[in-house]
Structure formats: C-alpha cells, structure tokens
Structure 1
Amino acid sequence: MTDTKTPASEVAALQPSPKGLGVLKAAFHERRTLAMLLLGFSAGLPFAMLFGTLNAWLSDAGVSVATIGILSWVGLFGAFKFLWSPSVGLTPPIIGKMGRRRSWLILCQVVVVGALLTIALSHPGTGAIALLAGAAALGAFASATQDIVIDTWRIEVADERVPVDLLSTVYQLGFRTAALIGGAGALVLADTLGWSTTFVIGAGLMGLGLLGTLIAPEPKPAPRQAIARERIGSPRLRMMALAATLLAWAWAAFMLIRFMVTALSVTPAPSAGEFTATWGPWIVGGAVILPAALAGLIVWRGGKTGPVQGERDAPPFLNTLYDAILAPLVELMGRLGWGAIIVLGLILTYRITDGVWGPFAFPFYMGDTGGALGHTKTEIALASKTFGVVMTILGIGLGGWALLVIGRMASLLLGAALSAATNLLMMDLALGAPVIHGFMQISSLYKLFGLFHVGEPLARLMLAIAGENIAGGFAGAAFVAYLSALSNKMFGAVQFAVFTSLALLIGTLGRGALGELIEHQGYAAMFVIAAWLGVIAVVFCAMEWVRLTAERRRLNLET
C-alpha cells in the first residue's frame, strides 16, 4: 500500500489522549457528558431486557428450552450491524429540525419502547409467542441501530474539551448501570410486581434515553464535497470494488435472513451460537475482510479523484453508494497503510481472552466435574449478576481515570495485561483455590465476607470475579476509547461498526475445541490457554504503541 499524507481531519486519532483530572472537571460542565451517560443507559437497557430478562420470563412461564432457543437469533443483529451501518450516514434527517443523528436516535428509541410494551402485553405462558418473538426481533434491530448512531455521535462530538476517551468511559458507565437495572434489578421487580409490569417500567426508563437525545448537540455533518475528495483510484476500479462488496453484503444478508426464517419455521430451532461459530467467520471474511482487501487494492493503485484520461466518472448514485459503503474502508486502509495488520491483530485479540470462555462461565460456576465449583443459582446470581456487575462498573471507572492520567495506549496495554493475568485467578479456583485460599486467610478477608454471611467457597469465587471483572471493565474502557479514536469522524458509523463486529465475532472461534479440552483436561487448562491468548493481545498493544509513536514523530517532522 502506498503511503499517503495524513489529512488534518485524521491527525486527531494520532494525537496523545488529553491527560489530567482538569479535563474531567471541565467535561462535567458540558451537556455532552450528561447526554453520553443517558445514551449509554439507553443502549444498555434493551440489551439487558431483551437478551437476559426476557429469557428469564420465558423460563418462569414454563416455555420449553427449545422454544426459548428460537429467540436466540435476535442477538445476531448486534454482531452483524455493520451490514446496515452505511444507512445511518446515507439517509437525510428523518425529523428535519432534530438533525440526522438525533432523528435516528429518536426513531430507534421509540421502536424499542414499543417493542418492550408489546412484550409486556404478551402472554408467553399460553404458548403463543409469535407476537413476542416479532417484538423482540424488532426491538433488537432498533437497539443495534441505536448503537450505531450512538457510537457515531460519540466520535463526531468529541474534542479537546470533552475527549473521546472520557465520553467512551461515561458511555460504558451508563451502559453497565442499565445492564444492572435491567438484569438483576428487573428480576427483583418481577418477583414483586410481575413480569408485565417490569417490562412496562423498562419501557418507561427508556425515557432517559429520549432525554439524552434531546439534550445532545447535533454534530455538524461532513460536507459531501469533503467526502468526495477522499475518493482515490480510477472510477472503474472503484465501481468494480463496490460491485464485489455489494454482492458480498447481499450474500451475508441472505445468510442471516435464511437463518432467521429457519429458526421460526423448523423444530428444533437451529442454534444462533452454532450459526455464529460456523458462518460468522465466513460472513466477516466476505463482508469485511474482502472489502478491506479491495480497499487496500484501491489505495495501492493510487490516483486522485476524477476520471482517468479517456475514462468517465461513475454516475452520482453509484458514487454516493461508494462514499457510504466502501470509502470508509479505503480511508482507513490509506491512513493505516501496512499498520492495518497490527491494528487488525489488536482488534481481533484484545477481548478474546474473556470472550472465548464466556459461554463456559456458568457451567464452571455450577458444574461438578473438571474442576467446576458446584455453586447454586442463588449464589451465582449474587456473585456474578450483582456483585460482578458492580465490579465491572468499578473497573470502567478506574479505566476512565487511567485514560486521563496515564494516556490511551498505556491504559490499553495495562488493560490487556490485567485481562490476561486475571484468568489465572479462575485457574486457581479450578485447581482448588490454594493461592486464593491462602491469601484470604492471611488478609482476613474471610472474616470480612463472613460479616455478610458469605461462606468461604462463595467468598473465593467473589474475589476471583472481582479481579476478573475489574480488569474487564478497565480493559473495556480503554478498548472503546481506542476504537473511537481510531475512527475518522467522516466515516465513524461504518468504521466503528466494523471494529466492534470483528471484536465480537472472533470470540466465537475455538469454542468447540475448548469444550473438548475441558472434557479431557478440565477447566484449569482452558484458563491457561485464555491467559496465553491475552499475552498475544499485549504484544499487539505494544506494537501499536510503537507504530503510533513513530507516526506522530513523522507528522511532527512534516509540520
């Protein structure tokens, strides 16, 4: 790939993140910060209620596990949202005076409210779940679309006064708070008020998201001329690459729709997890990696916009499609050059140390073989769903503090190291907890937990979860800040959606092999492998830090 001069609009991603607690003080006088907190809450609440609390209601209503499995596919919208992310930037404002971003937010939030109210009015215990399934699917689609718009808004409104690092942390604090309320809080409410009332309350709480939208400033859209100036390569090459990308995306959309139709019409329903593990890499390869390679080809061939001698420019409609779909990847590949390999490696490996063993968490906590811990559902509800979420929120806060004090890349590297190391806490539990037990005896932590009537086995698990979730929250804050800074403001919708989809889907790879490993060698071996995978992320973080430092020096020499 050819090396191109970095435009001023892209230099911001290469600048060191603003540091100092003075930034925090100044930012909390800005309405953008409050809006970000409320929008984060608006993103987290439907996630918790549609993908967790709803399943609990169905189980409580006596709905069969097979039927509940039919609804598992609604989670695919979040994993593959990059497929419709260009529409966020392609369409004009739906509500003229509100602007493009806020119009989309209001539309998505109203649809989510309608979906939650429809679910509240359903009666899953009677066996009629068609209306409920449709509402859940519509709500999940609207929630994923809302995520695209919120991520784009965060990238576009960030500046030196309210840096993207801080906005990313505030977003996650709002998201996790909503997850706690919509998860554990909703279960408590359901015991007292019933499931229908709980979902009505959830719909009402979405009003906080609407409030966030109303107080959020509308970012200035990038001029069409500025986007057009980013076109490089001959029109013919651009259109050939666009055609290939559209075909790949059409195939990916067909695969998703076919799975959804099959899930609703075949008994037993296929597993969304198996679909993601089997077809997810192929869909990402065809819909992300192939277009990225074509974008790299366009950059390598070079050439500024405008028809090559004797070659006509493409029709305006096709140029608009190119600007919305392929131009974000071309811009990214042109800006990163061969550094894209490092960035891709970092994105693919950063959260895999946690994501790869996530589905095995509850079997590990509640099972009785292979080093599993044998805890009850009530104990896990306390340790993981309540205490664990609070520890994640604490980790996010620490991550946000670190971003302001030690900077983005130092925080990213530290988060990767902590995430890898805390897998060893789980390994120790699987081996009988000799290290954790000794530490808790020496530190008298057993006595502290005993004051709350928590026994020694559960206390050991809660300590390990505290370490794991604080590290995960810290790493998550740094990772979202890094991805946000990596995205160009002109193309944030597509670029960030692609980044997050890659990070989500990579965790599905290798889970089948890990399951077999657990059967033969127990859980401890799995946690050792997860820790080593985390070391790979640490290496990529160090390489990316070196790359960014060298790029900044080059820019300083040029200026």
Structure 2
Amino acid sequence: MSQRVKGWGLFKAALGSRKTAVMLALGFSSGLPFVLLIGTLNAWLGELKVSLATIGVLSWIGLAYAFKFLWSPLVDRARPPLLARLGRRRSWLVLCQVSLAILLWLLALTDPINAIGTFAGLAVLAAFLSATQDVVLDAWRIEIADDVATVELLSAVYQLGNRFAALAGGALALVIAARTGWPLVYMGMGIAMLVLVAATLAAPEALDVPEDRARPLGDHAAPDPRRRAIALAIVGVGWGAAILLLGAFMVEALTPPPPGGKAPSAGDFTKLWGPWIVVMTVIVPALVAAWTNRVRQPTPQAGRRALDHCYRALVLPLAELVDRLRWGAIVVVALILVYRICDSIWAPFAFPFYLDFLGYSNDEVAFASKMFGVLMTIAGVALGGLMFTTLGRMPTMLAGAATAAASNLLYADLATGGAGIDAFAGFFGLYGLGADARMVRLMIAISGENIAGGLAGAAFVGYISSITSRTYSAVQYALLSSLTFLVGALGRAAMGEAIEQIGYAPVFRFTALLGLLAVALVLVEWWRGAPRVRAPEVPPEASLANPVEVPKP
C-alpha cells in the first residue's frame, strides 16, 4: 500500500489488518506520555503558580528523548526479567506501559507545591520510560513490516496515533482539568496507558535476528578492539559527565534552599556549563569519530557484539558523517544544533504564557492551540512540501529559519497588548467576523507560529534526510535528530529565570534574535554547496519513523 494514503483513508487502512490496528494504538501509547510530560504538565504547574524558573529546570526531562540512543543497545539486546516469555519487544513495551501508568498515578497523588523534588523525580523516570518505549516501537515497526503492512504505512499510522494522543493529552486534558482538576486528568491518563497494554499483548512479536546474521556495524570498517574501547570510553565519559551535571543541577535547583540561602541560578549554570556540555556531547564525539576514521581496519571486528552495538550508537553516526563531509561536517552539526532553537527554547512556557500571563481559559487554549493550531501546523507542513518541490531544499530551509524567528515577534507583540496583531486583524477585517477580539489575537499569533513551525519542521526533516547515509540511516538519523533538542533544552531553565526577571516580551525578542543564528548557518551551508555533495536518499522508514519535532504544548 502506498505511503501517500492520508486522512480518512489512512484511518481505514489502519484498521484493515492486525498489525496496522495495533500500530495505531501503539502510536497513541507513544504520544500520550510525551505530551503529558513535555507540554501539559507545564499547564498544571503554571496553574499552581510554580515559578517559571522551576518549570524551566523541570523541562530538562525532555532530554530523555534526546539521549535515548545512549541506552538503545541495551534495550535492543536484553529482555526484562519475568516478562521475557512475551518476546524481546513486547516484554519491554509491557514493562514501559505498566510503569508509565503507575507513574502517572503517582504524579496525580503528589503535590507539586510541597513535594516538587519528588514530583520531578517521578517525571524524570516517566520520561525515561517513555523514551525507552519509543526506542522499542521504532525497532518493532521496522521488524514486523511486510508486503501488506509496509514500513511506510506503519510509520504513517504511527504518526496518526501520535496525533490522536496529542489531542487527548493536550486539548482534552485541558478541558477536563477545567472541570475536575489536574490530578484526576493524570489518573485517567494512567488508566488509558494500562488499557493500551492490551494492544501490546495483541501485537505480533518480531522474530529475533540470529546472532551470526546480525551485523550492527553494517559494512563500516571499525578500529581494532583496543582503540574502539578507547573511543567508546572517551565518548561515554563525556555523555555521562554531561548527564550527571544536568541531573545534579536539577536536583539542587528543585531542592528548597536553607533559611537565608539563595537558590542556584539557572542562567549562571547555562553560561558556565552549557558550552562545556555541548563540547562533551558533540564536539568531543566528533573529534573521536574523526580519529576512528584514521585508525579503523578494513573489515569490521567480529565477536564483540556489545561493543559493536555501543560503537554503532555513540561513534558510528558521526564517524561516517565526518568521513563523508570532512570539514563541512562542522557546518552541518552547527546547523542541526541551532535550527529549531528559537521556538524549542520557549516551548515549555507556552501554557503558562497563555493561561497565567494572558488569562485565557483552559477551553480557549485547548481550541486555539490544540485544535486550530494543529490545522495551522498541517498547513505549514504542506507549504514546506510545496516549496521543496518548486524552490528546492536550501531556499525552503532559509524560509523556515526566517519565519520561525519572525513568528516569535508575534508573541512579543501579544505580550505587550497586541497592537501589531490588532492592526493586521483590522486591515483584513477579521474583527468584523463577530469573533471575540481576544481570541482573534491568540489565534493569529498561534497561526503564525504553527505555520512557521510546520514549514521549518518539514524543511528540517528533508534536510537531515538528505545528508543521512543510506547505509546507516536509522542510527545516524536518530543521533542527528536528537541533537536538535540539546541546545534548546539547555537554555530553557535560564529562559524561565529570564522571563521572571524581565518579562515575556523581551525574551521573545531575544529568541527571535537567536533564530538569526540558524538563518546565518543556512546561508553558509547553502554557500558550501550542500546540494552538490548530497548523500543518497534516506529510506522512508528513517524519516517517517523518527520525525524531528519540537515539543509543543
């Protein structure tokens, strides 16, 4: 079946076989904890008047989705105890889903005001399990594909399930919370996660790949075991140190200071340690990758399966990219790091901005952001696809970067009363349609931001797909797409602190300026001639199975 099946036809196709029907449910299972932890949770905290600095620090739980490739080798090879008889994939899915249900219930029973440390710990663990579930689902989707339930169709159905989850965990959650309170919302969503275990038990288990046929390194030549161990140790220590730094500061920031003491500054942490975290997680691994390209042997080493998997997850993606692009890899990695920064960095504060600062109701935000906003995102994606086919890759990338930066100025205007938005609405006669002026302002701002985000997202997925090697598509795409979360996530804690000190409008203007970094790097990459050194096209399963999305409430 063609991957171009969309809309109602896609939904009917999803129910046409056991595999696709299960994939629809598992796509929902993947998307529900993501939206509840990364977006909706902030609406709950904002309603309780939790400080924006605390919300910014807590948003670091989203890094679990960026770092998930680090433990993917373990998930790929091991089976959880007691559940092993369910199969390699289903056992992990059942473990994650049941644990997520329990954690959502525990979040519902925890007071974020008086026990913010416990609340944060539960959220971190839930994000880790949610990211692990995504790792398993990506592998399961590819392994159970056949001539009828193709990877393309399964990936599209998976995304459809994600969209349903975004509506349930976003719009529906806001509407229910306005009537019953947030604890009951999370209790109900926990029950939904438990019900989804039935879909996992109904899922066909993928066949294990025999050990002698599994080749985690493909045809890539690797260093000898000693040098490979050195490379893995250096990269592993760098990633481990970065995670420990972030975790330690998160614990410190969420622990109430002693009487007369001062809470640690997220801004100071970002200035002091942010660059070093990027060095440890990006620059050092890239240098190690360049070194392994010089000392590798003509054939992959055999008999070291665990090291092969770790090498594939931590070193191989950058090693192949550096080997192919040489110095151009510097521009590519820099562009990937900052392309979505201007909207990803303030995403956790959108709900507090709408609900607390601007005073919109849950129902109004649910309609404007989660229903109307989804349509605008689809329009942006469609615009991106049209521009790709008519103008090409780099012009679309440039338009996406520029509009994403400019859209933040809409929110700066909204934060200062909406004079510019009022002028726009008056010129086009939008206030004459009978809608409430406050809602018109909000919908115009959300329309501009979501169209820009959809355009930039479509452009970015196409760009990463174009530079990804066909041979190592899945693992390379996973790493490169993970990097998009890194810089934005690092700055979120400092952004919350800045909003409390200087207000929303100056911060939105600053994020718009940050977006100019992406514009500049797109121009450099365009000048470098990326289309002329383009890698073979990535298979559809890489781009569909691992879409690059910025968490949006």
TM-score interval w.r.t. the shorter chain? Answer: 0.7 to 0.9
Q: CA deviation at 1:503?
A: 0.9
Change beyond 3 A, Cα 1:72–1:295: closer
Cα distance in 2 for residues equivalent to 1:247 and 1:483: 27
Q: Name the structure 2 match of 1:354.
A: 343
2:409 is aligned, of 410, 419, 427, to 427
**Structure 2 alignment gaps of length 5 or more:** 538-553
| Residue aligned with 1:124, SS | coil
Q: CA deviation at 1:243?
A: 2.4
Asked if residue 200 in structure 1 is aligned to residue 187 in structure 2, the reply is: yes
**Structure 1 alignment gaps of length 5 or more:** 1-17, 308-312, 368-374, 554-559
Change beyond 3 A, Cα 1:365–1:349: same
1:283-332, CA deviations, whole angstroms, 9 ceiling, x for partnerless residues?
3321333122211222234431368xxxxx99666556435543444344
Moved more, 464-473 or 405-414: 405-414
CA contact (8 A) 1:58 1:124 kept: no
1:290 is aligned, of 275, 280, 284, to 284
Counterparts of 1:146-545 in structure 2 under 5 Å?
A: 146-153=133-140, 171=158, 174-207=161-194, 209-210=196-197, 213=200, 214-215=202-203, 218=206, 221=209, 223-225=213-215, 227=217, 229-263=219-253, 265=255, 267=257, 270=264, 275=269, 278-305=272-299, 318=307, 321-334=310-323, 336-358=325-347, 376-378=358-360, 381=362, 385-398=366-379, 410=392, 414=396, 417-418=399-400, 420-421=402-403, 423-424=405-406, 426-427=408-409, 430=413, 436-448=421-433, 450=434, 452=435, 454-455=436-437, 458-480=439-461, 483=464, 495-507=476-488, 522=506, 525-526=509-510, 529-530=513-514, 532-536=516-520, 538-539=522-523, 542=526
2:96 is aligned, of 108, 114, 121, to 108
CA contact (8 A) 1:366 1:377 kept: yes
Moved more, 37-46 or 316-325: 316-325
1:111-157, CA deviations, whole angstroms, 9 ceiling, x for partnerless residues?
1111112233x252894566645433321221222233344556667
Q: Name the structure 2 match of 1:42.
A: 29
Cα distance in 1 for residues equivalent to 2:224 and 2:42: 52
Q: Name the structure 1 match of 2:13.
A: 29
Cα distance in 1 for residues equivalent to 2:419 and 2:105: 50
Change beyond 3 A, Cα 1:392–1:68: closer
Cα distance in 1 for residues equivalent to 2:528 and 2:204: 33
Change beyond 3 A, Cα 1:219–1:474: farther
Moved more, 90-99 or 439-448: 90-99
Identity %: 40
Change beyond 3 A, Cα 1:195–1:164: same
Q: Name the structure 2 match of 1:7.
A: none
Change beyond 3 A, Cα 1:57–1:34: same
Question: RMSD in angstroms over aligned alpha carbons?
Answer: 4.9
CA contact (8 A) 1:156 1:492 kept: no
**AA of the residue aligned to 1:119:** L
Cα distance in 2 for residues equivalent to 1:208 and 1:488: 39
CA contact (8 A) 2:285 2:318 kept: yes
Q: Name the structure 2 match of 1:3.
A: none
| Residue aligned with 2:33, SS | helix
Corresponding residue pairs, total:
518
Change beyond 3 A, Cα 1:494–1:462: same
Change beyond 3 A, Cα 1:342–1:88: farther
CA contact (8 A) 1:424 1:527 kept: no
1:261-280, CA deviations, whole angstroms, 9 ceiling, x for partnerless residues?
53565526656776566534
Change beyond 3 A, Cα 1:399–1:410: farther
CA contact (8 A) 2:47 2:355 kept: no
Cα distance in 1 for residues equivalent to 2:91 and 2:371: 33
